[in-house]
Amino acid sequence: MNWNWSHVDDFMPLFWDGVQLTLKALFFGTLIAFSLGLVWAIAQRSERKWIRWPVTAVTEFIRSTPLLVQLFFLFYVVPQWGPSMSPLTTGIVGLGLHYSTYTSEVYRAGIEGVPAGQWEAATAVSLSRRRTWTAVILPQAVRRVIPALGNYVIIMLKESPQMAAIGALDMLGQAQGYSQATFTYEAISVVGVAFIVIAYPASVLLRVLERRLVR
């Protein structure tokens, strides 16, 4: 077995830079995914067909195609007629957009889980449409789906290394850079272990949260 621990030591400073970038992308990607997902979910419940159908079609399409190709699209095609984005920004937008189509399904399930009596009660006390959503439906729906949303944060973490393919220096990007510059191969293992070390406790935590919030 050819293994050299000193390469691992040398990689560590770069690794921590990568961790920072990964967490940054994850944080902003999550913000986009959570907020845009809610927009999709509410739009899909709209009474107007011309809102409901296009949103359903677009989210279905985004959800059924690979994030990697979407990242390439955002990075190479969009700048031809739109804004040019850095690899990190592209990664954040890509992750956020891709997973907003998943979180919209989560929100939808949550909204459908709110008993019909709640809608009727809101109508009975003549709340406006806006107040019905913000004061009655969403507080009940969102509480129920927090664990499921949290699971998507973990999934986004595990998919985030794809942005290394467009040159972002996240954990994987740093490991690739270091390995190619020094002709070594130990760095990837550090990153692989790091993902398990972050993702496993997070999923345990979510299961505890699920037991508390849902029942």
Partner 1 sequence: MMSSEFLGNWFLPGLWITLQVTFLSAALAFVIAFPIGVLRTHRLWIVRFLAGAYFEIFRSTSSLVFMYWIAFTVPPVFNISFQPMFAGVLALGITYGAYASEIVRGALAAVPPAQREAGIALNFTPFQRLRRIELPQAWPEMIPPFNNLLIELLKGTSLVSLIAVADMTFAGDLLRLVTNDSAPIYTLLLVLYFVLAFVLTRGMRLLERHAKKRVGQAPEKTGLFGGVRATSSIDAVTGTGGAK
Applying CB under 8 A, the residues found at the interface with partner 1 are 1-3, 60-61, 63-70, 72-73, 76-77, 80, 105, 147-148, 151-152, 154-155, 157-162, 165, 171-172, 175-176, 179, 185-186, 188-189, 191-192, 195-196, 199-200, 203, 210
CB of 70 to partner 1, least distance (A): 7
Q: For residue 104, count other CB atoms closer than 10 A to its CB.
A: 24
Nearer to partner 1 among residue 30 and residue 132 (C-beta): 30
- Asked if 149 and 143 count as a contact pair (C-beta separation under 8 A), the reply is no
CB of 117 to partner 1, least distance (A): 24
CB of 158 to partner 1, least distance (A): 4
Nearer to partner 1 among residue 31 and residue 204 (C-beta): 204
Nearer to partner 1 among residue 135 and residue 196 (C-beta): 196
d(CA 189, CA 78): 34
Radius of gyration of the chain (CA): 21
- Kindly state the tokens that stand for 146: 């927090």
Using DSSP, state whether 48 is helix, strand or coil.
coil
Nearer to partner 1 among residue 42 and residue 161 (C-beta): 161
CB of 55 to partner 1, least distance (A): 13
CB of 179 to partner 1, least distance (A): 7
Contacts of 165 (CB under 8 A, 6+ apart): 68, 71, 72
d(CA 103, CA 30): 10
Nearer to partner 1 among residue 42 and residue 159 (C-beta): 159
CB of 165 to partner 1, least distance (A): 6
d(CA 106, CA 208): 19
- Kindly state the tokens that stand for 210: 């699920």
- Kindly state the tokens that stand for 190: 């550090």
Nearer to partner 1 among residue 136 and residue 188 (C-beta): 188
d(CA 113, CA 108): 8
